[in-house]
Amino acid sequence: MKKKVIAFIGLFISSRLLFAQIPVKHTLNLSIWDPVATSPYDSLSMTRVTLGLSSKTYQLKGVGINLLAHFNEHRVSGFSLNGVGEFVNGNMNGVEVAGLFNVVTGHMHGVQIAAVQNTSVQHAKGMMIAGITNFAIGNARGIQLAGVTNMAGSHFSGVQISSGVNIATSSSDLLQLAGMVNVCSEPINGIQIGMGNYAGGVNGVQAGLLNLCGGEVKGVQVGIINHSKDTSAVKIGLVNINPKTRIQLMTYGGNTTKINTAVRFKNTYTYSILGIGTHYLGLNEKFSGSLFYRVGAGLTPFKRAFISSDAGFSHIENFDNESQATPERMYSLQLRLNLEYYPLSRLGIFASGGYAHTRYYKANRIYENKPIVELGIILF
């Protein structure tokens, strides 16, 4: 008899402990400020709907709407709308919308929308939309859309779009669209489009004013200046730089612009030149000048000589020299034949001859046709 009583008491205590661990469901929580709320906050509470000024829940499965903020300790599954922000010290599955910020310290699977910033600490999968910044600290997959900056501190696969800067530490499949700069410190498979782009390696496309690749490019770079650490990359731009590119300073005089300084980016057979010249109209006139770009090709017939030919475009500014016969600005199309000789390995002299066809921008008129004669030195 005594054994039966002891067994019954044990069974009773065990059942009470078991039922004590079952989560208590609260259909509705009305909250002003924790702990002023209709439902208590504890580790066994599970809330379906929380409404108020600011609320604190352990687990929300349903809807949360707060004028200020919502704090959740364990998990949020459902929809949350908060005037200031939401902080989830656990996982979030669903949609959270906030006037300022959303923070999830665990896994985020769903959608985050905030006027200022969204932050996901661990794995994120879904969409992050922010007026200023999205920050995924752990691995992430999906879409980041920000007014200013998107940042992925670990591996990111998906799409980053911002008006400012996109940053990813590493990626397998990535599309970055930025108004300013895209950065991926490790090699990417995908596309970068922005004013400036950098990647540790590219299997795809970089398109922008400045494209930099710290490794190998298996694809194409399209921009004003393209740079990569390999020589086999396909580059389409005004200036293309690889490890074998020789960057040289050129200074010379001529009969078009009288004093000229330029930088030449010379590869084995091809080159491009960016430069500036002064006094197009003459040394006795007021200041005038030009900006010019040339692209050419050549060969080395013997050790210290280089023969080349190039074509160029020159934008001419006349400033205060404007008159009925001389417009404020013109452009010139130029062809040249060049002969270079290097008495030293990093010092050369050159002479150029060619032809310039100069026209008005605003009228279909020729300003002048004249031969080109130039003489100068090359450094480096």
Are the C-beta atoms of 153 and 168 separated by less than 8 Å? no
What does the pLDDT average to over 276-293?
A: 83
Is the Cβ–Cβ distance between 185 and 151 less than 8 Å?
no
Q: How confident is the model at residue 12 (pLDDT cuts 50, 70, 90)?
A: very low
How many C-beta neighbours within 10 Å does residue 7 have? Answer: 10
Could you tell me which of 238, 247, 293, 294 has the C-alpha nearest to residue 266?
Answer: 247
pLDDT, residue 37, reads 81
pLDDT at 85 over 90: yes
Would you state the pLDDT for residue 296? 94
Cβ-based neighbours of 73, under 8 Å, separated by 6 or more: 43, 56, 57, 58, 59, 89, 90
| Confidence grade of residue 16 (pLDDT, cut at 50, 70, 90) | very low
Report pLDDT for 321: 67
pLDDT at 235 over 90: no
pLDDT of amino acid 14: 46
Q: For tokens 């969409």, what's the residue?
A: 127
Q: Is 243 exposed, middle or buried (0-12, 13-18, 19+ CB in 10 A)?
A: exposed
Structure tokens, 91:
């996982």
Contact between 198 and 210 (Cβ < 8 Å):
no
Tens-digit pLDDT profile for residues 303-358: 899 999 999 999 999 877 667 667 888 999 999 999 999 999 899 999 999 999 99
Note the pLDDT of residue 140.
95
Rounded Cα distance between 122 and 105, Å, is 6
Q: Give kind and range of the element (H or E) at residue 290.
A: strand 289-299
Residue 36's pLDDT is 87
pLDDT class for 290, splitting at 50, 70, 90?
Answer: very high
Buried b (16+ CB within 10 A) or exposed e, 181-208: bbbbeebbebbbbbebbbbbbbebbbbb
Residue 20: is its pLDDT beyond 50?
no
User: Average pLDDT, stretch 114-137?
Assistant: 96
Q: Domains of the chain by range and CATH?
A: 24-241 (no CATH), 246-379 (2.40.160.20)
**pTM tops 0.85, yes or no:** no
Model confidence pLDDT, tens digit, residues 24-83: 677 888 988 888 888 877 777 889 999 999 999 999 999 999 999 999 998 999 999 999
Alpha-carbon gap, residue 71 to 153, rounded angstroms: 25
- Whether residue 18 is predicted with pLDDT greater than 50 in this model: the reply is no
Structure tokens at 204: 């795809």
Rounded to 10 degrees, what is the CA torsion of 16, 21, 26, 32? 110
What integer is the mean pLDDT of 367-373? 94
Tell me the sheet residues that pair with 54. 69
| 248-276 residue pLDDT tens | 999 999 999 999 999 999 988 889 999 99
Residue with token string 């491009």: 272
Predicted confidence (pLDDT) at residue 171 exceeds the cutoff of 70 = yes
| Whole-number average pLDDT of the chain | 89
Bridge partners of 304, per DSSP, are: none
Q: Where are any strands of DSSP class E within 16-148?
A: 24-33, 36-37, 45-82, 85-88, 91-98, 101-104, 108-114, 117-120, 124-130, 133-136, 140-146
- Assess whether pLDDT exceeds 80 at residue 4: no
